[in-house]
């Protein structure tokens, strides 16, 4: 099992202090919530990383929830580690994997810096409520998180001026950062973001699994990355289980009926109130969004406790894209390209049907009550 030096020191400290807690819960909490002390310990190797983390643009991610609307209907009052996650924590987790990658590949200082900076900034352009509102921002205002990230990193919007200055002052080329995030940067860094299993998806899926499987950790993210980098017979069971876990996360969380309904409510609200939105709203926090649109959050707060008909305004069917993640076991894991051939994604147009007639039940076609798990 692979652990980073920082992770080993953390576990040693737990054991030495003889903390009276569930070790599994502590490990899970540490993996997915990086504290202020952890930030200094992990990223203090280079002041550049700390400057970016402390920038206004990066700090904003503390108030952008990881799964958008789903975070407001899934275990909102749960205790650690079963709690809402943020893009801030996810970005730190991805950057920690980039550090591991840099050490294992023995990258030079410039390459390592570019790897970690790109990881820190890969989600810098997420909107409030993340993907839940992004499709409407794209349709109506022609802006999504890729465009927003580019504008922030280039310093073209106010929130990005500080980050852009840090990069320029530290001789980090913003265009190389953008290229690395897009998977077309230096050859030594291509595998960071280019393939179906990469440092972003590893961190994101394992973090998302904590919503579905309480107090359970399948593999630490660092172990999945180590398996991906080895690409040998020992890697196969780890990567296979990761891909099956991704399928489970999408089926039971991302495209579960309640998750789809939460996204739908957000998108319909924005469409009906477009006159109250503009491009600048893309860069605000969820705290600011709530203050401007309390009606939207009121609906989300009620979603888990009321019948869908009270929120759907007569809508009986909600379309969505069902993604399934399958493994072609005939493909041997030999190189990076075989990852794309072994680990496959299948998309299917689907819809959830809700009975909204007066006096009827509000259940899906299967007859199950509306619930997340």
- The angle, 0 to 180 degrees and rounded to 10, between the axes of the packed helices 174-181 and 161-169 is 110
What tens digit of pLDDT does each residue of 331-366 get? 999 888 899 999 999 999 999 987 654 444 444 443
User: Does 368 fall in a domain?
Assistant: no
Residue 363, domain member (yes or no):
no
Into how many domains does the chain fold? 1
In this structure, are residues 369 and 363 in contact, taking their beta carbons and an 8 Å threshold? yes
The domain in which residue 78 lies consists of 5-353
**For 34-39, what is the mean pLDDT?**
88
The pLDDT mean for the chain works out to: 85
- DSSP 3-state of 335: coil
Query: Domain for residue 50, yes or no?
Result: yes
First to last CA, the chain: 31
Average pLDDT over residues 143-171: 97
Residues contacting residue 194 through CB under 8 Å, at least 6 positions apart: 183, 184, 336
Residue 106: predicted pLDDT: 95
Please report the DSSP string for 169-221 in residue order.
HTT--HHHHHHHHTT-S-GGGGGGTSSSS-HHHHHHHHHHHHHHSTT--SS-H
Q: What is the CATH number of the domain that holds 189?
A: 1.10.3210.10
Residue 281 lies in a domain: yes
Per-residue model confidence (pLDDT) at position 152: 98
Residue 341 has which token pair? 């051939």
The helix (H) or strand (E) run that includes residue 244 is helix 235-249
Q: Percentage of the chain with pLDDT > 90? A: 67
Asked if the model's pLDDT at residue 21 lies above 90, the reply is no
Query: In whole angstroms, how far apart are CA 317 and each of 212, 257, 308, 351?
Result: 25, 11, 11, 6
Q: What is the mean pLDDT of residues 245-249?
A: 95
Helices and strands in the chain, H and E counts: 19, 2
pTM for this one?
Answer: 0.86
Q: Quick check: is 362 in a domain? A: no
Q: Which two tokens stand for residue 64?
A: 């952008």
Do residues 42 and 5 touch, judged by C-beta distance below 8 A?
no
State what percent of residues in the chain have pLDDT above 70: 83
Q: Give the lowest-confidence range in 108-112, 213-217, 368-372.
A: 368-372
Mean pLDDT lowest among 76-85, 115-124, 233-242, 283-292:
76-85
In a domain, 95, yes or no: yes
Residue 24 placed within a domain: yes
How many whole angstroms separate alpha carbon 7 and alpha carbon 229?
19
**Does residue 80 have a pLDDT over 50?**
no
């Amino acid at each position: 099992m692979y652990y980073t030096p920082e992770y080993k020191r953390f576990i040693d400290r737990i054991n030495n202090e003889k903390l009276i807690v569930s070790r599994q819960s502590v490990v899970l909490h540490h993996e997915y919530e990086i504290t202020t002390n952890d930030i200094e310990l992990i990223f203090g190797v280079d002041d550049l990383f700390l400057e970016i983390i402390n920038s206004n643009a990066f700090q904003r991610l503390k108030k952008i929830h990881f799964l958008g609307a789903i975070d407001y209907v899934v275990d909102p009052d749960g205790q650690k580690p079963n709690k809402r996650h943020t893009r801030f924590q996810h970005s730190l987790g991805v950057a920690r994997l980039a550090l591991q990658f840099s050490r294992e590949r023995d990258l030079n200082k410039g390459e390592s810096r570019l790897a970690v900076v790109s990881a820190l900034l890969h989600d810098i352009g997420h909107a409030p409520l993340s993907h839940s509102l992004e499709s409407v921002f794209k349709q109506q205002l022609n802006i999504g998180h890729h465009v927003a990230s580019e504008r922030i990193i280039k310093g073209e919007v106010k929130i990005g001026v500080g980050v852009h200055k840090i990069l320029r002052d530290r001789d980090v080329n913003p265009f190389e950062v953008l290229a690395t995030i897009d998977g077309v940067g230096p050859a030594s860094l291509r595998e960071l973001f280019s393939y179906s299993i990469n440092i972003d998806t590893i961190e994101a899926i394992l973090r998302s699994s904590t919503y579905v499987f309480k107090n359970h950790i399948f593999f630490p993210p660092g172990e999945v990355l180590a398996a991906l980098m080895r690409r040998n017979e020992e890697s196969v069971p780890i990567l296979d289980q990761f891909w099956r876990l991704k399928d489970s996360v999408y089926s039971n969380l991302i495209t579960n009926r309640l998750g789809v309904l939460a996204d739908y409510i957000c998108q319909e609200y924005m469409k009906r109130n477009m006159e109250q939105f503009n491009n600048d709203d893309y860069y605000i926090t969820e705290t600011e969004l709530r203050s401007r649109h309390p009606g939207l959050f009121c609906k989300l707060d009620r979603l888990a406790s009321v019948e869908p008909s009270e929120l759907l305004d007569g809508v009986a069917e909600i379309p969505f894209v069902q993604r399934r993640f399958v493994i072609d076991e005939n493909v041997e894991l030999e190189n990076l390209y075989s990852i794309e051939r072994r680990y496959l994604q299948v998309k299917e147009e689907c819809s959830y049907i809700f009975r909204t007639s007066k006096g009827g039940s509000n259940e899906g076609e299967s007859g199950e009550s509306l619930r997340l798990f």
